Amino acid sequence: MNILVCVKQVPDTTEIKIDPVKNTLIRDGVPSIVNPFDGYALEAAARIKDKNPDTKIVVLSMGPPQATAALKECLAIAADKAYLVSGRTFGGSDTLATSYILYNAVKKVEELEGAKFDAIFCGKQAIDGDTAQVGPELAEHLGYPQVTYGLEAELDGDTLKVHKEVEEGVEVIGVKFPCLVTYTKPAWDPRYPTIKRKMAANKAEIPVLGDDAFPDIDTTRIGLKGSPTNVKKTFVPQKKTGGVKIKEEDSAASAKKLFELLSAASII
């Protein structure tokens, strides 16, 4: 069983502050982390490997050279091999262009590894862009079936059984290989790396697939120019103002006051 896990290095959005004068995001000094949803995807792969030790887990990331740090973290946690896609011509890609580059990278890594991936696992979305588009788009490029909002997956012969979060609860979806699954947050925390794995990961060489790694790629479909969507403007949302604070002599009085205000405004 070969599993490819796609990961993205993202700024820790909880650490982002707003410049009060310029009203822009302050990105300097914000720590970079492995996108948490990708961590759940890696954990799902690791759990399959726990039960099926002959499983090989390869991680793939696209980003600047610093993204090797995220890949090393994945190696320390559970991955066996890592590849980085990094090139100038890839910069500025929207989700469609990114998924097209990743599609080319999947084919290239399969060639280098000498084996096809049975399953590709991704996080549901990255916490910086929050689009949830790259996973399904990659599945479409590959022509694979997809299952989104996965919580966990188990092997059952030639079928992957995925627990999928839906509005009404959980569905168990059966899908044949090859397939692509995106993961959301399960009820458990991902495992931590061991010291031994951490040391090995630090020494690991991570092959970089650069601009010239994909001679057959259609260059009109990558980068800023190859992206159908572009960002027209960004702005910091206005904070809500003028909220009513209620603090009467005791909680019961406050509750009554709240009820009066809500019913006067026809809210309840």
Partner 1 sequence: MEAKTKDLWVFVETNEDGTAKNVGIELLTPGKMMAGKQGGALVAVVIGSGVDEAVKAASEHGADKVIVVDGPEYKHYSTDAYAIALCTLVEKYGPTSMLIGATNNGRDLGPRVSCRLHTGLTADCTALDIDEETGNVAWTRPAFGGNLMATIICPNHRPQIGTVRPGVFKKSDVTAANAEIVKEDVHVADDQIRTQVLEIIKDMGGENVDLEGAEIIISGGRGVGGPEGFEPIKALAAELGATVGASRAAVDAGWIAHAHQVGQTGKTVGPKLYIACGISGAIQHLAGMSGSDVVVAINKDPDAPIFDVADYGVVGNLFEVLPVLVDEIKKARS
Contact 69, 7 (CB under 8 A): no
Gap between the Cα atoms of 30 and 42, Å rounded? 24
The residue among 68 and 95 lying less far from partner 1, judged by its C-beta, is 95
The tokens for 167 are: 């509005």
Total of residues contacting partner 1 (CB under 8 A)? 81
199 binds partner 1 (CB under 8 A): no
- Residue 171, classed as helix, strand or coil, is strand
The CA angle 164-100-150, to the nearest 5 degrees, is: 10
The tokens for 56 are: 């090989």
Cα torsion 36, 151, 145, 171: sign:
negative
Contacts (CB under 8 A) with partner 1, residues 142-161: 145-149, 161
219 binds partner 1 (CB under 8 A): no
The one among 21, 166, 195, 264 contacting partner 1 by CB under 8 A: 166
The one among 129, 155, 200, 210 contacting partner 1 by CB under 8 A: 129
Residue 131 CB, shortest distance to partner 1, in Å, is 4
Contact 161, 126 (CB under 8 A): no
The residue among 114 and 192 lying less far from partner 1, judged by its C-beta, is 192
Contacts (CB under 8 A) with partner 1, residues 65-124: 94-96, 99
The residue among 199 and 236 lying less far from partner 1, judged by its C-beta, is 236
220 binds partner 1 (CB under 8 A): no
Residue 32 CB, shortest distance to partner 1, in Å, is 14
The CA angle 39-192-127, to the nearest 5 degrees, is: 25
Contacts (CB under 8 A) with partner 1, residues 22-51: 25, 36-37
Per-residue DSSP letter, 91: T
Residue 81 CB, shortest distance to partner 1, in Å, is 27
